[in-house]
Amino acid sequence: MPKPVYLMALGIFAMVTSELLVGGLMPQMAGDLGATIPQIGYLITAFALAMAIGGPLATVAVLSLRTDHALLILFAVFFIGNALAAVSPSYWPMVVARVITGAAAGAFFGVALSAVAQITPQHLHGRATGTALQGLMVGTLLGLPLSTLIGGQFGWRAAFAAVGALTVVVAAATMFSLPRLEKSEEAARLRSELTVFGRPRLWATMATSTLIIGATFAAFSYFTPILTEVTGFSREVVPLLLLGYGAATVVGTIVVGRLAMSRTITVIVTGLLLNTLFLTAFALFADLQVPALLAMVGIGLVGITLNPAMITRVQRAGNARALVNTLHSSFITMGVVVGSWLGGLGIGAFGLRAPLWVGVVLAFLALAAMAPAAIGARTARREATACTTSPNKQAEAARPAGA
């Protein structure tokens, strides 16, 4: 595996950490910025929307640059956003900082995955994508508690400053280790790059990714209240349980990354079937600690860990260049937004188990959307098997008797 792939993972880790750290620093930030807790919560929404909408626009802005230069510019913009957050004197400069960092992060995901595809051989693309996306999983696992620890010891501004410092280190390492990545003439022309979006299959594939991610985040967004108020775990234990969930996502991503190229459709369909099973089990047995814990770990193994296979499928439907990858990350982000929103609506109407059932419904819809691809893949395998065995049967028939 080329070393720059791991640097892409570190870059993604820094950006995921920046996205999540507001959640652990809300009281401090609210008091210092003269804002309410809900207003600080809107900073998370601002980052997500900037990532989903501003990410593709930022990608278009760097489309004419070499891939390695585009990465360094996005690192610089992301650093500026975090520096502004660290010194923001009031609420609205912080909003601007979150929009800047969100747009840079959205574009970075797409450009980084494009760089990974450029520097790895074809047969390693799935595994390399999975390795780069470990930054997402580890950021989810460790980014929030680490930033909360730094914020608790040195103040919330220090947490943003730490992410900015990490960004500088990773950007410098990338500058010296990433090979020269020339842009293709086709990728440099916006009109040519946009023609791929005329394919209905590409849009359907990205929409399926929204359903897949939404199914998991409908449940994940409300794990803490479910585990404390329904399952009966103490609040002190829940962070450890969530660490276990995060560890499961790391393991699952490694496995999916190794299979993403050779068994793309099979991996996604199998993961969705298992996720539906685990979500259903969690919903039915949420009041029993052992079954609930096992179901939660199962969701960690087969939920957002499908990302490498989803990315491989989208790249086959479109291409592996930055704009397709960035727009796909926007669809994934919308899965987070839609899943958590529907889960919250379910709680208001039916109680704390509702997000789990919402996840089941979204997973079932994703399975329905995958049905044509699964049938097509099965037909293709049968035809390939027939083509392989047919010459053998013909040779057997032509062989003289007794030979």
205 and 171 in a common domain = no
Judge whether 402 lies within some domain.
no
CB atoms within 10 A of CB 238: 17
274 and 166 in a common domain = no
Please report how the helices 200-220 and 322-350 are oriented relative to each other, as an axis angle in degrees rounded to 10: 40
Judge whether 120 lies within some domain.
yes
Instruction: List the end-to-end C-alpha distance of the chain, in Å, as a whole number.
Output: 50
pLDDT above 60: residue 197: yes
Judge whether 56 lies within some domain.
yes
148 and 44 in a common domain = yes
Domain assignment of residue 56, given as a range: 1-179
**What distance in Å separates the CA atoms of residue 152 and residue 28, rounded to the nearest whole number?**
9
Domain boundary among 130, 153, 179: 179
CATH number of the domain enclosing 343: 1.20.1250.20
Judge whether 222 lies within some domain.
yes
Please report how the helices 200-220 and 307-317 are oriented relative to each other, as an axis angle in degrees rounded to 10: 170
Judge whether 398 lies within some domain.
no
51 and 166 in a common domain = yes
- Give every CB contact of residue 359 below 8 A, 6+ residues apart in sequence: 215, 216, 218, 219, 275, 279, 339, 343
Domain boundary among 120, 153, 179: 179
- Give every CB contact of residue 232 below 8 A, 6+ residues apart in sequence: 287, 289
Judge whether 390 lies within some domain.
no
Whole-structure pTM value: 0.78
What is the pLDDT at residue 392? 55
210 and 163 in a common domain = no
153 and 121 in a common domain = yes
Give per-residue pLDDT as tens, 1-38. Answer: 788 889 999 999 998 888 878 766 777 888 899 888 77
CB 253 within 8 Å of CB 134: yes
Count the alpha carbons within 13 Å of 144 in the hemisphere toward its beta carbon. 15
The residue-averaged pLDDT of 33-55 equals 84
Please indicate whether residue 401 or residue 327 has the higher confidence score (pLDDT): 327
What is the pLDDT at residue 300? 92
What is the pLDDT at residue 292? 95
Judge whether 397 lies within some domain.
no
Number of domains in the chain: 2
CB 117 within 8 Å of CB 126: no
Of the candidates 234, 211, 243, the one whose C-alpha atom is nearest the C-alpha of residue 337 is 211
**What distance in Å separates the CA atoms of residue 397 and residue 296, rounded to the nearest whole number?**
56
152 and 64 in a common domain = yes
244 and 124 in a common domain = no
281 and 214 in a common domain = yes
What is the pLDDT at residue 386? 66
252 and 157 in a common domain = no
210 and 164 in a common domain = no
Judge whether 187 lies within some domain.
no
367 and 283 in a common domain = yes
Of the candidates 243, 227, 251, the one whose C-alpha atom is nearest the C-alpha of residue 302 is 251
